Structure 1
């Protein structure tokens, strides 16, 4: 049985879970109607979509606790950069590489960062590692693929690079050869990378803004550098380069069919009107009274930001709150598209009553401490509906963190709702209880299904 379970994909597990959830309860079972009121100061938990606990989270012992300040700093920086998230294959040894990262140009495989001298970076020097971080070149001078986000890591200081390298050298050696990238020609060639770099990359360490306080500069350094937040939250052009003119303005994450909302717009996910406590809670626990981490962001919180110090979380909070807000034109454009037809509203209302109201309430009010309200929820009225489709079809959980160790989850409905039904129920939700947003079409649902439907 364990062998069979180990071969199931996340979608297989989700489908089985939903089938089990749909089975009738025993006659003497009392349904959940509400939870006790949350204690003062408790955080509201929103549905998330962290990957299910399968082989993506290997049960491998962590490296020994660092014994010197330099190694402790390096271990902390490895968490801040979420290095293990990319450099660990499903069910593999931490930091030993081999995880395939799909891109529009093919698949890139992460490299072995352990201290193995033959297949890892055990034979590297601190200068070699700095060259990779700062200039995007391997030890032998070979140009690295920008899926390794050296366009952000170039801002990391030499001192932090050296500390991170010192920590990685303490990792137990894992003999695992790097898997060659599977990129379409000519994207994997050194010539193509040289042209790409000439167009879109200039090395440069972070320069502090003298007009800003030290805390703000620390936050900017973490967000723009080691945290590489722009890798997801900045739109990309046809060649995969981040559009510097729209830094942190939101964008679709390539091949994942999740939309990373703008961190600048108050209509998307901007935090200018959030309290510092709410922002820090989201990064620390994955949930807050103003929103929750979902999809790829849930993985970032689980593996990275929950381990940051309160000082660094405060610095990031201050920087994010300082980002300028955009205009309210998108909301006006949505409203101009008109209300859904009575037929669509009727179908959507019936589907909501059947599948959603038990948890989210008859009027989208949710259940405090368990299920998020859908009324007046900015995540529901986003102009891009990809995240809503992902959550309805495939479900998921908020990240399991120390501050939120047992998150409530949402079941998948991929076996019950087709494209038409999914579009109808989402259109209803986006226009009920004071919500006002554009209709969801069957084409949008099919497009957001992504590789699951291929």
Structure 2
């Protein structure tokens, strides 16, 4: 009995210690809200800066429903744990952020905590926004507070138990979240640091381009090394691999052009990245796009090359016939494409990446570059979801990945079936 009591005391002590540790980690770098916030005059310059920062952060994309009032929230963000609905960022006092102080807004951006102290779901990318400066947070606050107030009550989240519990969020944060600061590498140029600020912080590129673990946390050791976008079944390719989306060998102006127009000599954007270019990066100035290019060019590159595999001759023959019937008229008999219209498939690293999700998505659902100021009438690819069955899609993509000098593995019919059913991995 005595030993049992000692064991229970020891277990309690461990539990209390762990709870204290979680509590401590969740209160790191919290602003003192008891101190009055100094009002920042909403000058035209500050409002313009806030509007620009909102574009750089692509805030409206998530905080606006289709056809809804900009920034009024309500868009559902699907996650493996349930759906998180975005909040109203207009200055409505009852349902928006009209009653928030600049310090409370800063705490949400920097620490992921709501005005009432609740921990926010990391579907709101405060894990990236924590690197935003206080001055930029204040500019965003000023801009949002000068929008027309819209009364739109919050839609309740539908996150499953136990992920919808605040203690569970606290443990997650203790394990995976550390408050950050704007990049300030003295050994790097001011342009590199600005690029790091935009890519890692405000642009939150790692939210898509970094793999996530089973609990939805990104792995800093694989920062920007590629990852499947949860619930969307698109793959955000690695920015650290020359065989995927690494741009270390690209001319700086081509990177700027891709972010500004959606197309460049070395590639084009489709899927979720098309929305990013459409609603965010095309609106950035040349200096910031150049800074992002400088940072991306300096990322360490992996030298791991794609692995090819033998292809069944019958599948290859079937794919060749389907390509001639459905694809050659645009992409060319030799996969050469048409400059300025249809991308080449020969020598295209987007075709030979180990992950085939994007290829399958483009064939099934079509591929559309964004309509930007620099490319207002982009050519698109029609969907074949009702034309080709799973075996057809697998065969034609296997043909494309192994023709005209391309050397990559085949595409399995089961993989196409999984992605068609919305069960990508």
Q: Is the Cα–Cα contact under 8 Å of residues 248 and 262 in structure 1 kept in the other structure?
A: yes
Q: Distance in 2 between matches of 1:267 and 1:374?
A: 14
Q: Is the Cα–Cα contact under 8 Å of residues 256 and 450 in structure 1 kept in the other structure?
A: no
Q: Is the Cα–Cα contact under 8 Å of residues 257 and 450 in structure 1 kept in the other structure?
A: no
User: In the alignment, what sits opposite 1:152?
Assistant: 128
- Equivalent residue runs for 1:189-228 within 5 Å: 189-228=165-204
Deviation at 1:342, TM superposition (A): 1.8
Q: Secondary structure at the match of 1:182?
A: coil
Q: Distance in 2 between matches of 1:393 and 1:452?
A: 14
Which of these residues, 373, 377, 381, is aligned with residue 406 of structure 1?
377
C-alpha deviations, 1:390-432, integer Å up to 9, x for none?
Answer: 0001103100100011111100001111110000000000000
Would you say 1:81 and 2:57 are equivalent positions? yes
Q: Is the Cα–Cα contact under 8 Å of residues 235 and 246 in structure 1 kept in the other structure?
A: yes
Would you say 1:426 and 2:410 are equivalent positions? no
Q: Is the Cα–Cα contact under 8 Å of residues 236 and 251 in structure 1 kept in the other structure?
A: yes
Q: Is the Cα–Cα contact under 8 Å of residues 363 and 433 in structure 1 kept in the other structure?
A: yes
Q: Distance in 1 between matches of 2:180 and 2:76?
A: 28
Q: Secondary structure at the match of 1:222?
A: helix
Would you say 1:378 and 2:349 are equivalent positions? yes
User: In the alignment, what sits opposite 2:148?
Assistant: 172
Would you say 1:416 and 2:392 are equivalent positions? no
Q: Secondary structure at the match of 2:53?
A: helix
What RMSD over aligned residues (CA atoms) do the two structures have, in Å? Answer: 1.2
User: In the alignment, what sits opposite 1:355?
Assistant: 326
Deviation at 1:240, TM superposition (A): 0.0
Would you say 1:312 and 2:288 are equivalent positions? yes
Structure 1 450/218 Cα, relative in aligned 2: closer, same or farther at 3 Å?
farther
User: In the alignment, what sits opposite 1:18?
Assistant: none
Q: Distance in 1 between matches of 2:87 and 2:216?
A: 20
Deviation at 1:369, TM superposition (A): 1.2
User: In the alignment, what sits opposite 1:282?
Assistant: 258
Normalising by structure 2, report the TM-score.
0.89
Q: Distance in 2 between matches of 1:210 and 1:449?
A: 48
Q: Secondary structure at the match of 1:75?
A: helix
User: In the alignment, what sits opposite 1:323?
Assistant: 299
Normalising by structure 1, report the TM-score.
0.83
Would you say 1:187 and 2:187 are equivalent positions? no
Larger Rg: 2
Q: Is the Cα–Cα contact under 8 Å of residues 183 and 196 in structure 2 kept in the other structure?
A: no
Deviation at 1:237, TM superposition (A): 0.2
Q: Distance in 2 between matches of 1:243 and 1:416?
A: 39
Would you say 1:246 and 2:222 are equivalent positions? yes
Q: Distance in 2 between matches of 1:203 and 1:132?
A: 11
Q: Distance in 1 between matches of 2:140 and 2:79?
A: 27
User: In the alignment, what sits opposite 1:114?
Assistant: 90
Deviation at 1:444, TM superposition (A): 1.1
User: In the alignment, what sits opposite 2:410?
Assistant: 439
C-alpha deviations, 1:330-366, integer Å up to 9, x for none?
Answer: 42xx22x22x122111100000000001111111111
Q: Secondary structure at the match of 1:160?
A: helix
Q: Which stretch has the larger CA shift, 254-263 or 198-207?
A: 198-207
Q: Secondary structure at the match of 2:84?
A: strand
Deviation at 1:451, TM superposition (A): 2.9
User: In the alignment, what sits opposite 2:211?
Assistant: 235
Q: Distance in 2 between matches of 1:424 and 1:396?
A: 19
Q: Is the Cα–Cα contact under 8 Å of residues 133 and 181 in structure 2 kept in the other structure?
A: yes
User: In the alignment, what sits opposite 1:368?
Assistant: 339
Q: Is the Cα–Cα contact under 8 Å of residues 248 and 297 in structure 2 kept in the other structure?
A: yes
Q: Distance in 1 between matches of 2:283 and 2:423?
A: 32
Q: Distance in 2 between matches of 1:325 and 1:173?
A: 46
Deviation at 1:450, TM superposition (A): 4.2
Q: Is the Cα–Cα contact under 8 Å of residues 320 and 399 in structure 2 kept in the other structure?
A: yes
User: In the alignment, what sits opposite 1:49?
Assistant: none
Q: Distance in 2 between matches of 1:198 and 1:263?
A: 28
Aligned length: 383
Q: Secondary structure at the match of 1:107?
A: strand
Give the unaligned 5+ runs of structure 2: 1-41
Deviation at 1:448, TM superposition (A): 2.0
Q: Distance in 1 between matches of 2:161 and 2:421?
A: 24
Which of these residues, 367, 388, 410, is aligned with residue 396 of structure 1?
367
Give the unaligned 5+ runs of structure 1: 1-65
C-alpha deviations, 1:143-197, integer Å up to 9, x for none?
Answer: 0000000000000000000000000001101110011110010111101100000
Q: Is the Cα–Cα contact under 8 Å of residues 133 and 150 in structure 1 kept in the other structure?
A: yes
Q: Secondary structure at the match of 1:102?
A: strand
Q: Secondary structure at the match of 2:422?
A: helix
Q: Is the Cα–Cα contact under 8 Å of residues 369 and 380 in structure 2 kept in the other structure?
A: yes
Q: Which runs of 4+ in 1 moved over 6 A?
A: none
Q: Distance in 1 between matches of 2:130 and 2:201?
A: 7
